[in-house]
Chains A and B, each alone.
Chain A
Amino acid sequence: MSGVIDVSARIPDRLTFWQRLYLPEIFRGMAVTLRHLVLNVVNPRRMPTIQYPEQKRNYSARFRGKHILKTREDGTLKCVACYMCAQACPAECITIVAGEHPKIAYEKYPVVFDIDMMRCVFCGYCVDACPKDAIWMTRNYEMAFFTREEAVFSIDRLRESKAEIDAHGYGYRPYYPGDGTTPPTDASRLPVVAGSGERDALRQAGVALPNRHVGAGPLNATSQAAKFTA
């Protein structure tokens, strides 16, 4: 096949006498190392290595680093615990437990949202899968841990923070025109039609109507259930 280098062909079946002497070959190898050492000291710019962590490479603007969970204007997580990211994740490193949000408009939120950074393969599929634009990646790749437990990031370490973005910048995220960070239409800003017919108009005007709600207001499963079993 063209383009394929058969490395096995380059290894001779038998070592030559000269090679079997061993030491001459050692000195030949050291000479290569010494040549590079001298050249690098004379001309440091030819060195391919950098002095990490003092020096860092500038990775792409869409680098796939540590994840962040985006927040709404009121500081709550945009995530609605739909499990799409967990479903898409090839490493199965996302663990979500969903809960009932007290605010009806949000309805559902992640009580637990863990990403095991040690299992994560940083493929960005979670970002692609998210229907709520709730999970992005940063360019932060500096994650080293002493224990496995430390590598599991929960909401407090995933929630977007200004300091983190200032330090590392956004990485992989949905591609939006413009500055790349603002979705073209934000669903939460769509107009809302208030009221549902006459009854709601009356209710909103403060007219006392017989309450046909079995449990108005935020759903609190336990206390509402108690109402019925009492």
Chain B
Amino acid sequence: MSSTPVAPPPSAPPPAPPPKDTFTVSFDGKAIEVPKNLNLIDAAKLAGVDIPHFCYHPRLSVVGQCRMCLVEIEGMPKIQAACTVPLKDGLSVKTTTDKVKNARAATMEFLLINHPLDCPICDQAGECTLQDNSFGYGNQLSRFDEAKRQYPTFDRTMIGPHVVADMTRCIQCTRCIRFTHEIAGTSELTFLDRGGRTLVWTHEGQPLANDWSGCAADVCPVGALTTREFRFRSRVWYLQKTPSVCPGCNVGCNISIESRDDVVYRFLPRLNPTVNDYWLCDYGRFLSEPLNDRDVHKATVREGSAVREATVPAAVDRIAREIRSSLEGKGPGAVFFLGSAHLSNEENFLLRKIADHVGSPNRDAIVDKSRPRKVKSKTVWVEGDDAGANHQGAKDMGLSPGAGGHGLDAVIAGKASPEVILIADAAFSAIADDPEKVAALRRARFLAVAARNANALTRAADVVLPAASLAEKEGTFTNVQGRVQKFDRAFLPKPPIRAAWEHLLLLALALGFGDRSWTPHDLLRQIAAEVPDYAGIKEEELEGGRLLKKGDFAWAGRP
């Protein structure tokens, strides 16, 4: 700003160039434009330069604790910890000089002085930052031949319901401590003792028992914090990662299903800054175990008082026959269709199409309420309290009573008495294990369900179809924000088990509509064409989810 008085020009001045919101920074001579608010380590990543680090985490405060990220910066005489250097225009960073290489190797040597090198026993091996950095930047040999520090009373202890701590492996990066302070806000963890004897532990007598304690094990770059549930179950390099969405509640955290040989071993959070960021709640994380449970392996059909095994097509034909005969006898009002908050949009959509096809207005999808669950996205907390991941989607697909139709309440209260009830997911609610409510449903002449696990409902049903688990099918869920998110199939179900959409497609074909070649991808295209709120939705845009343009979501905060 010049203070020289200048007569204002008669016309408006040319608009000043908008202030640049990027910096030009160069890494090893390669200049790039980076957003101003980035950390130097992330900026380097954009430039394709790897700066090894332990303590820096994109969502936790910067502490400069580990000294692994040392780099040379032009104009600064000493090497600097990259994570603590604020970006500025014209910064020139060097990561390949001898000075940097020696500094990194020295840091690694110091870290390994007291590290047990337990890799054969340690569960972190294979995804351990210490292993990676030692391999990439360390010296091969150690010059240290004294006895290593040990923590005899602080090894392999459960410090909470899920987390097992082993302090001999800790590198004092404080990521776990910062996680409990800054993200969980529960501050269970702290440093005890000082100097060479520093260790991370919980405050006297307190367990590490917040709702996200598994994330402390995630952020730990080494094997000092591991989870009880996954410990020793599989070596991590055997696990195949499949992008999916947590089935636990309507927050819809993005997860990676880690499986091997058709067994799910664990869920890990999958980065999505708009939903769950780097985090995952313990409830959802440990749903990976029950995902392997199954006791319905074959289709069964009740004939008289006997229950017989049947092929899936035969069982579906039976359902179609019963539907047709009650349509002829009593008209479309005699058939009731129940979707589920555990089924994908595609499956609920197909169920609704079947209801439309037979002309029945009797359709519903209900959800149990759970205790509120929340997870922190990059900016706000996302909260949900449905016990199923996709109630929003089921409603959007049109699974609520149509004009003159009735819902599940009316059926259970006895105000409506459909002849045929088709339940697309036997685990739709706790109602399915409540003998009285099941007896109310059983009043129908014919009751058909698709199920993975047996419950009171499957024991009462006339036809039970074996349904695939979340890991065995693909589709989309709509979360509490109104974000449509895609999940992939980790492995194929073991025949004759099929995904609910396959059962429903068989049924549609038996009732005279649909196309044998339909897949969830085709169904999603139909949803995009037919469901108003989902108009134009494309599978390719569902990476990270797509927010529907709707105003009626209970969830207020929107990033």
Contacts and interface: CB of A to CB of B under 8 A. Distances in A.
Tell whether A and B belong to one assembly.
Answer: yes
Interface string A213-225: 1111001010011
Contacts of A199: 192-193
Interface stretch (B203-211, B351-359, B411-419, B475-483): B203-211
Nearest to A229: B161
Given A80-B121, A193-B149, A219-B156, 16 more contacts: A87-B235, A104-B155, A104-B156, A107-B156, A131-B120, A192-B150, A193-B148, A197-B193, A198-B193, A210-B205, A212-B205, A213-B157, A215-B157, A216-B157, A221-B228, A228-B209
Contact of A195 (B152, B159, B164, B202): B152
Contacts of B207: 214, 228
Contact of A196 (B164, B199, B203): B199
Interface in B89-119: 118-119
Given A98-B232, A197-B197, A214-B207, A107 B147 contact: no
B349 interface: no
B152 A200 contact: yes
Which of B156, B201, B204, B233: most chain A CB closer than 10 A? B156
A70 to B, nearest CB: 14
11 contacts: A80-B120, A82-B125, A100-B231, A100-B232, A104-B156, A131-B119, A193-B149, A196-B197, A212-B203, A213-B153, A215-B158
Interface in A62-93: 80-84, 87
Contacts of B148: 193
A211 B205 contact: yes
Which of A98, A100, A108, A214: most chain B CB closer than 10 A? A214
A108 B205 CA distance: 27
A194 B118 CA distance: 18
B231 A196 contact: no
Contacts of A104: 155-156
A192 B120 contact: no
Given A194-B152, A203-B153, A221-B228, A82 B120 contact: yes
B513 interface: no
Nearest to B120: A82
Which of B120, B154, B204, B237: most chain A CB closer than 10 A? B120
Given A107-B121, A131-B120, A83 B235 contact: yes
A206 interface: no
Nearest to A228: B161
Interface of A: 80-84, 87, 98-100, 104, 107-108, 131-132, 190-200, 203, 210-216, 219, 221, 224-225, 228-229
B160 interface: yes
Contacts of B199: 196
Contacts of B119: 82, 131
B144 interface: no
A42 B340 CA distance: 90
A80 B119 CA distance: 10
A81 B377 CA distance: 38
A200 B153 contact: yes
A108 to B, nearest CB: 5
A219 B167 CA distance: 15
Interface of B is mostly: loop
Interface of A is mostly: loop
A85 B272 CA distance: 37
Contacts of B555: none
A81 B233 CA distance: 11
Interface string B187-217: 0000011000101011111011100000000
A153 to B, nearest CB: 21
Contacts of B233: 98
A190 B147 contact: yes
Interface string B127-161: 00000000000000000000111111111111111
B114 to A, nearest CB: 10
Nearest to A107: B121
The 3 tightest CB contacts between A and B, nearest first, are A82-B120, A228-B161, A98-B232
Contacts of A215: 157-158
Which of A198, A211, A219: most chain B CB closer than 10 A? A219
Which of A196, A210, A211: most chain B CB closer than 10 A? A196
A212 B149 CA distance: 21
B160 to A, nearest CB: 7
A82 B125 CA distance: 9
A104 to B, nearest CB: 5
Nearest to B198: A197
A196 B152 contact: yes
A197 to B, nearest CB: 4
Nearest to B147: A191
Contacts of A214: 157-160, 202, 207-208
B121 A82 contact: yes
A127 to B, nearest CB: 15
Nearest to B118: A107
A132 B122 CA distance: 13
Nearest to A81: B232
A193 B147 contact: yes
B226 to A, nearest CB: 11
B201 A212 contact: yes
Contacts of A195: 152
A168 B327 CA distance: 79
Contacts of B228: 221, 224-225
A82 to B, nearest CB: 3
Contact of A84 (B120, B159, B208): B120
Contacts of B154: 196
B121 A108 contact: yes
Contact of A99 (B205, B232, B238): B232
Contacts of B152: 192, 194-196, 200
A81 B118 CA distance: 12
Interface string B221-234: 00000001001110
Nearest to A222: B228
Contacts of A200: 152-153
Contacts of B121: 80, 82, 107-108
B142 to A, nearest CB: 13
Contacts of A192: 147, 150, 152
Contacts of A216: 153, 157
Contacts of B167: 196
Contacts of B203: 212
A84 B202 CA distance: 34
Contacts of A219: 156-158, 164
A95 to B, nearest CB: 11
Contacts of B120: 80, 82, 84, 131-132
